[in-house]
Structure formats: structure tokens, C-alpha cells
A and B are shown apart, each in its own frame.
Chain A
Amino acid sequence: MSTPRTIIEKLWDSHVVAERPGAPSLIYIDLHLVHEVTSPQAFAGLRARGLKVRRPQNTFATTDHSTPTTPRSLPIVDPIAKAQVERLESNCEEFGIPYFGFQSPHQGIVHVIGPENGLTQPGMTVVCGDSHTATHGAFGALAFGIGTSEVEMVLATQCLLQRKSKTYEVRVDGALKPGVTAKDIILALIARIGVGGGTGCVFEYRGQAISALSMEERMTVCNMSIEGGARAGLIAPDDKTYQFLAGKPFAPKGAEWDAAVERWKRLPTDAGATYDHTITMDANTLEPMITFGTNPGMGMPVSGVVPDPASLSDPLERDSLAKALRYMDLTPGKPLAGQPVNVVFVGSCTNSRMSDLRAAAGVLKGRKVSPKVRMMVVPGSMEIKRQAEAEGLDKVFREAGADWREAGCSMCIAMNGDQLQPGEYSVSTSNRNFEGRQGKGGRTFLASPLTAAASAIAGVVTDARKL
């Protein structure tokens, strides 16, 4: 009998094209997702070398980062953003790459449309010039972010030189309490291991609490693997995965589907396989989480108090926390609940899917957003936008006083004009609270859609269970 392997090792082994002594392995890439921000210099590189895209049939593009979320009948006002979006579309036409462009009814955040259309499938290697590519790991794919030089390499050769990552088991036992969500699992993990805790590793999330998650919730967990420093994070496919994929536009059909499911069923980690690292968490003890600082590792239960830098012994760590609290203008020892907020953002590749919008709408229904708060709800794709409107969620948001937008990355990365003003506080369902991430001088509290919606109503950071 062969040595038991983790799903991470199975994915790696099946994609090794060549190995040479003294060099990283040459790895085959099944799906390459492309967007407007990290690709123009790669296409320019191909052109300069006279190279073609080797497998356009394994490549798919959309526009999301620089893309306005104002009505699509309006032009892109920012000429630099407009040029970038148009350059993506002309590059796709020149190199024969399928794409959902700015005016496509299927446009959306790259990590939302991949799964939504069945482009992302178990057993695949998936790359994109974007660090949140780990989202696709929810389907049992090895999915990771790459730089623009690597985008060019994959376009030209469908391959990358990679070193094998260490395997890191993240085991979440037990069951989440009501009001505690997938977002809280991942924020709690990162608060525990820190933003560099997974460096050099691929996470496999498993255990009872992970199995119990829907596919959308699994995407939320995998999405933020990079925030824990891991290159990728994944979850073995199961019946939920197959049910989600069945009938999606790019999913296999008929006999091909049956053969695919047979292949996919061999992916989960073998009994007896071992990991380089393991961490266990008890879902029963988790609380709704929120960040207080300037990286996603600076998180705590929403009922917690802001930590005191004086409690840290390492001088660099102490200075870094003190610097973060100065930027956030928060006082050590004070609770975060009750902190006034200016903006609430529901959206991003972390939390912009139907279940996220339903969760936020569930809190907002029959209530009003505080007059002191500007709330933006940005669906992850135009498909989600239509579905939400068919369910009447847009009316719930609008009647509550929130702004209901078109699809895109929006205020997660603040490239498209959706941004905080200096000094403003937001509760955001996105993935990064770095200084200035949501606009220069803006201050971000990361949390779940439930916490975000509750905070919008109260006008202050609020635990949705206490609303």
C-alpha cells in the first residue's frame, strides 16, 4: 500500500511536470484567472518576446478592482482606471482569452465568478495575480496568488516554478453557536497564529465545524488564508461541493461529470496521513470576532477590550501595536463595542455572496441604518446582484437606507473611488485592515456581515446578538 497522503500532497504530485536537481519543481496550472490590475505588464512582456498565450482555454478574465460600482450606464470617470479596464479587454481580444468585461451581465469579483460559473473545480491548480486566490481552495483546489512576472510565465507556458509548501492542518471541531459565522472562524484563527503564522504553508481546514459549512462559507474561510501568511488554504471536496458545481456553466456534464466526481472522490486526505503543523480550534468556544488594529491578526471577540502595548515584552512587537493603536486612535483597555463608526461596507471576495447578503438583510429588515452611518452593499457579481434583487434584498437594503451597488471589489481595496475619508471608521466585511487600505487615513474594523449590519443600525460597533 502506498504512503498515506494529504490532499495537499495529492494535488502537488499530480501537477508536477518536471523536476531538475537544484531547481524548484515545474508545476502545471489548470486554471489561470486574470484581472485588470496585475496583468497589463504581463501581456506587454508577452508582446515584447513575441509569445502567445499557450492555453487560452485554461485562462479566464474579468474586471473588478478598478471597476466602478456605479450604474453600468455611466462611463468610467477616472481616465486611468478606464484605460486599465479597456487594456484588459483589448489584451483578451488580442490573445484570444475569454472574459466577462465591464458591460458583461456575468462580470464580478474574480474569486466570486470562478466558482459561480463552475470554472473552479476540485483537483485543479488555480492561480491569479491576486493574493485572495486561496478562495478557490474551498473546492479542493490548490489555489494561490502570484505576481505579475508569474502571470506572464503562466500565460506563456501554463506552468510555474514552485517549491513544495509545508502542510498545515487547521482542525475546527464542534459546532458554531448561533450568530457566530465562517468569518469569525478565520478571524479567530489569524488572531491566534498571527499574520505570519502560516508562512511557507498550505492550510487544510477540516473537522466537524468545517464540514458543516456551506460552500459559500467555506470560500470565506479559505479566502483569508493569506491573511494568516499561508500561500493557500483548502477544504477537501464532499457532496456539498458536487451539489454546488452540478449544472454550473463550465462544470463537466453527463458522462464527463460522472467521471469527474469519481476522480474528485479520491482527493480527500488519506487516513493516517501526517501534516508538518497542526492546530485545533473548538468552534463551541468561538465568539463573533472583530479587528482593532492595522493587520488582520489584531483581532478579538467583539465583546473584548483593546489590548495594551505595555503588556508585550518584545520591543518591536510593542512598538508595532502602539503604532497601530495610534493610527486607529484607540485607547488600550477600552471596549471596542460602542465605538462610533462612519461607514459600513458589506462586500468583497470574502463576504459578498448570497448568504452574506441574506445575513445582512436579515439584520436590517424593518430597521434603519443610523443617520450617522453611510452603508454600502456591493454584490460580488452581477449574477448575485440579479438573484438578490429577485429575492427583494435590494429593497431591504434601500429601505434601511443603505446604498445598493453594482459588482466589484469596491471599498475593500478603494481603487475605484469607493473609499473612506481620512479619519473615518468603518466596519467592513472585507479582508484587510491595513493602514489606508480602504482610503488614505481610513480606519477599518473587519467583521462578519452580521456584525457589520448590526453596527450600521446602532451607529457604533455592535454584537448582532445584542441588537
Chain B
Amino acid sequence: MAKFTTLTSRMMPMPVDNIDTDQIIPARFLKTISKEGLDKQLFNDWRYDASGAPKPDFILNAPEWQGVQILLAGDNFGCGSSREHAPWALTQWGFRAIVSTSFADIFKSNALKNGLVPVVVPRDVHAKLFEMVAADPHATATIGLASQTLTLPGGAVVEFPVDAFSKHCLLEGVDELGYILQQMPAIEAYEARKDVHLNTLNPS
């Protein structure tokens, strides 16, 4: 996994609550057997018109917003399906962090495994960030993972929560499967325990 330490970027505002994974990448693009090329379909149905041409009024298409790495989104971002294609599409487009007031559980878990940092801020800070971006689209924020801080345009600093393990994995680029594989003796011991009932598929 790509390491994450600090990030300074402008913030792309998307002031919509409950942005679900079907908006992030519609299901019809999940027929692929690869992880690649999903950035083309990020926010597909908000991004392209019926003929497939980019809609000029959708922020992801605006030339001045290209290369921005922080998405500033409404509450409960990433609700809906478990598709990891959502963080794949977001990171392939270039996002490294999403700032919101809350995230859906499965999306958050998937994002953290792909070097995409979910930054939860209080409602008042969230509202202020939208105001700041509206006043100055060039304003930047800085995310410091080690200090768990978001520095707002103007210099005010707020802390954000991230669990110790996810933080460690992001800072060091730790591979979670590799970490579990190191615990194989514990897994074998669990499987050998007398008080554990191990189910196996055994049709009759």
C-alpha cells in the first residue's frame, strides 16, 4: 500500500450528504476483472451527459480543479455497497483524502486499505471549510497523519480520529494481509481448540 504522511492540497467541494457508492462508481462498471482504469468512471452519472460528453458544470470536469487531492464531501460519505471499486476509482483519479462529518463503515475500511484517508471533522468545522472554499477556491488545507491534524486555510488546526493500527499501516505502508499471515500460528491454534466448533461444508 502507498504510504501516507502529510498532504497539502486544495479541497474540491461536493456539498451533498449520503454520497453512495453507486454515485462514486455505478454498478455497470463493476463487470471488469481488473482494478485499472476506474478513474474514467468516477462519478460517471454526475460527470457525463447522455452522449457521454463531460458536463461542464460538474466540478470534476472543471479545468481549475484538476490535480486536487482532497475531496470535501457531505455527511455519511460512501454509504451503500461494499464495492472497493469506489476507493480504487477515487485514488486513481488522484484523491488521497476525503473530509466529511462521517463515513459509512465498509467504505472507510476499504479506503484505509488503499491509502485513502477518511478525515472526520465536527459539523462546525465542516461548514466552515465549505465557506472557506467558496470564498477562495485556491485555499489549501494540510493533513498531517502522524499528528492526526487538519490545518485549515488560515492556520487553525483541528485534530481528527484515526485508529492506531490504520495510522501505523498508512504511515509505514504496511500490507494488512502480510500482517495476518504472520499470525498463522495463532490461526492454527484456534482451529485446533476443543471448545471451538469448526464448520465445514459437507453436503449430503
Contact = CB atoms under 8 A, between A and B. Distances in A.
B129 to A, nearest CB: 12
B147 interface: no
Closest A-B pairs by Cβ, 8 of them = A196-B76, A40-B33, A147-B84, A147-B110, A145-B82, A18-B186, A148-B84, A434-B22
A94 interface: no
Contacts of B159: none
A14 B197 CA distance: 9
Given A231-B105, A295-B79, A319 B16 contact: yes
Interface string A11-45: 00010011000111010101100000110110011
A380 interface: no
A78 to B, nearest CB: 7
A24 B165 contact: yes
Interface in A131-172: 131, 145-150, 152-153, 156-161, 163
B148 interface: no
A443 interface: no
A392 interface: no
Contact of B109 (A41, A147, A317): A147
Interface residues of A, number: 84
Contact of A149 (B164, B176, B201): B176
B26 to A, nearest CB: 6
Interface residues of B, number: 60
Given A22-B165, A60-B201, A253-B204, A316 B180 contact: no
B27 interface: yes
B199 interface: yes
B58 interface: no
A434 B17 contact: no
A111 interface: no
B106 A131 contact: yes
Given A22-B168, A195-B79, A253-B204, A157 B187 contact: yes
Contacts of A422: 50
Contact of B30 (A153, A229, A415): A415
Nearest to B186: A18
13 contacts: A18-B190, A49-B177, A58-B200, A148-B84, A150-B109, A196-B104, A199-B102, A317-B17, A319-B16, A414-B28, A415-B28, A432-B20, A436-B23
Interface in B35-70: 35, 45, 50
Interface string B182-204: 01101100110000111111111
Interface in A410-453: 413-415, 422, 432, 434-437, 440-441
A161 B165 contact: yes
Given A18-B183, A432-B22, 9 more contacts: A130-B81, A131-B82, A145-B82, A146-B106, A159-B187, A161-B180, A163-B163, A200-B105, A415-B30
A41 B33 contact: yes
A55 B188 CA distance: 12
B76 A80 contact: no
Contacts of B149: none
B201 to A, nearest CB: 5
Given A37-B30, A161-B176, A415-B30, A295 B20 contact: yes
A49 B178 CA distance: 10
Contacts of A131: 80-82, 106
A121 interface: yes
Given A231-B105, A437-B27, A38 B168 contact: no
B199 A147 contact: no
Contacts of B15: 316, 319
B199 A58 contact: yes
Contacts of A57: 200-202
A263 interface: yes
A123 interface: yes
Contacts of A55: 200
Contact of B76 (A117, A159, A199, A253): A199
Contacts of A129: 82
A180 B84 CA distance: 36
A260 B177 CA distance: 32
A45 B165 CA distance: 22
Given A26-B187, A158-B187, A66 B31 contact: yes
Interface in A38-85: 38, 40-41, 44-45, 49, 55, 57-60, 65-66, 78, 80-81, 83-84
A323 interface: yes
B138 interface: no
B127 to A, nearest CB: 8
